[in-house]
Structure 1
Amino acid sequence: MFEILMDENRWKGFTQSNARISKEVGGEFSIFDGSVTGTNVELQEGKLIVQKWRFGSWPDGIISTVRICCFNDLCDNVVMVNFD
């Protein structure tokens, strides 16, 4: 799941929407054809994505922190998403 969320081409294939995604902490992203923009706060490859998200429809100054944790054991993948 980490690879899908952090790779522009995989994101496009998965969501059928355009994306620009930086793979660097502090880098910016734009997903869902520009409807959501934000900044990468913390990245641990294959394990954790923490980003600041802003939907274009939100009032100025409103930003959400999104934490996506990817857990992988021998037979299953689990993804936990928190919005603050």
Structure 2
Amino acid sequence: MMTTIVVQEFRNTPVQTVCPFCQATIITAIEYNVGCLTWLLAVVIVIVGCPLGCCLVPFFMDGCKDVVHTCPNCHQQISRWGRL
């Protein structure tokens, strides 16, 4: 008898999975949170010397933030994908 293990990759798009908390088959809800890449880009922009608050730009761009996958039923965090 063979057992098949499916490894899901949580990235920047919603994923269909079974919630490990409520056991429902769901499509994850995603939200973007400030992570290491966001802070790193802000520091690099400051070091380069861009004026007028340009270092705040990464905090407003979803492409620079980490992605958090949550269950839409029980609202538990299932996974977090960090960009770094």
Normalising by structure 2, report the TM-score.
Answer: 0.26
Normalising by structure 1, report the TM-score.
Answer: 0.26
* Bigger share in helix: 2
Higher relative contact order (CA 8 A, sep 6+): 2
* Bigger share in strand: 1
Q: Which has the larger radius of gyration?
A: 2
